[in-house]
């Protein structure tokens, strides 16, 4: 992975996300794109009927450039000066956040889009709000969500959580997870949250997925871990805490494991805080 994009809204968490992304770019020796969407009428319902003064737009454009420039300087100031110094390119555009981010990600061939918690999103819990959910649904690249409490640490182990119900889709989605793991020389742990202790067939399926990764992608640093839990979020929190996972990855399918976690019950809403970044792949 050689090009990472940070989608920033200059919110309270933006500096934290930028610093995390900078350290990740150092580890990958990658370029950084710092992208901001201008808050213009394209974000407002019935904006076509609003006359937007050119002077106001110029002010927004100027303020955005100043904030991007300051964020860039802060990233260089707080990064590890003894490591690789990534190139940082500041870009911006008017429109809907998802449209601008996806357009620029395509234009610059970004390998990864990195976002943080919006002030209304409560991304600190497993349930994400509308702002982040829109990015999850529409992102044209793998999406890394960085919670407020996640401090950067060397990524030695990446957990890929699966319910084993979409094995072929999982194998395809794992392409980008393997790419990241290989770039960081990290172990890839296949994690299955399992609640039926009498059903042992899952062992055959998860071992087949492991073999598929080795055969299709030629990556051998793969392990398997199962967790007995009736609730997905509780199982994942236990896994992260006890298996020393630095980053969690999941495939976004229309129905199943992913939806159970992010569109689930009150139990899942109160399951606890996400302690590590979450990589969403499709």
pLDDT at 232 over 80: no
Can you give the pTM of this predicted structure? Answer: 0.86
pLDDT at 42 over 70: no
pLDDT confidence of residue 265: 38
pLDDT confidence of residue 258: 59
The two structure tokens encoding residue 36: 């901001």
Which region among 28-42, 104-118, 173-187, 208-222 has the lowest average model confidence (pLDDT)?
28-42
Confidence of residue 261 (pLDDT cuts 50, 70, 90): low
pLDDT confidence of residue 266: 33
pLDDT confidence of residue 120: 44
Q: Please provide the DSSP assignment of 39-107 as one string.
A: -SGGGSTTGGG----HHHHHHHHHHHHHHHHHHHHHHHHHS-TTS----EEEEEEES-HHHHHHHHHHH
Dihedral pair phi/psi, residue 157, rounded to 5°: -145, 125
State the virtual CA torsion across 213, 170, 134, 275 in degrees, nearest 10: -60
pLDDT at 43 over 90: no
pLDDT confidence of residue 46: 47
Under 8 Å between Cβ of 2 and 28: yes
Using a pLDDT cut of 70, give the percent of the chain over it.
78
Which region among 14-23, 94-103, 113-122, 164-173 has the lowest average model confidence (pLDDT)?
113-122
Dihedral pair phi/psi, residue 221, rounded to 5°: -85, 65
Under 8 Å between Cβ of 177 and 212: no
**Distance between CA 63 and CA 44 in Å, rounded?**
20
Count Cβ atoms below 10 Å from residue 161 Cβ, excluding itself: 26
């Amino acid at each position: 992975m050689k090009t990472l994009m940070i989608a920033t809204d200059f919110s309270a968490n933006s500096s934290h996300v930028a610093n995390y992304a900078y350290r990740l770019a150092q580890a990958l020796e990658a370029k950084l794109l710092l992208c901001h969407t201008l808050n213009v009428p394209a974000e407002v319902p019935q904006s076509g009927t609003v006359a937007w003064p050119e002077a106001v737009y110029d002010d927004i454009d100027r303020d955005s450039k100043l904030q991007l420039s300051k964020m860039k300087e802060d990233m260089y100031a707080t990064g590890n000066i003894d490591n690789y110094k990534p190139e940082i390119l500041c870009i911006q555009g008017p429109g809907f956040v998802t449209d601008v981010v996806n357009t620029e990600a395509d234009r610059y061939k970004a390998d990864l889009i990195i976002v943080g918690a919006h002030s209304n999103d409560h991304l600190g819990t497993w349930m994400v709000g509308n702002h982040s959910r829109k990015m999850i649904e529409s992102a044209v690249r793998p999406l890394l969500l960085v919670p407020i409490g996640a401090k950067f640490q060397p990524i030695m182990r990446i957990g890929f959580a699966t319910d084993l119900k979409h094995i072929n889709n999982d194998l395809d989605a794992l392409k980008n997870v393997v790419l990241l793991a290989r770039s960081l020389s990290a172990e890839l742990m296949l994690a299955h949250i399992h609640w039926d202790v009498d059903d042992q067939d899952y062992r055959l399926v998860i071992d087949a997925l492991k073999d598929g990764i080795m055969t299709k992608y030629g990556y051998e640093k793969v392990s398997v871990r199962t967790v007995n839990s009736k609730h997905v979020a509780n199982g994942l929190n236990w896994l992260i805490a006890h298996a020393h996972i630095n980053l969690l990855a999941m495939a976004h399918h229309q129905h199943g494991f992913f939806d159970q976690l992010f569109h689930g019950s009150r139990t899942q809403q109160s399951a606890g805080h996400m302690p590590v970044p979450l990589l969403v792949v499709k």
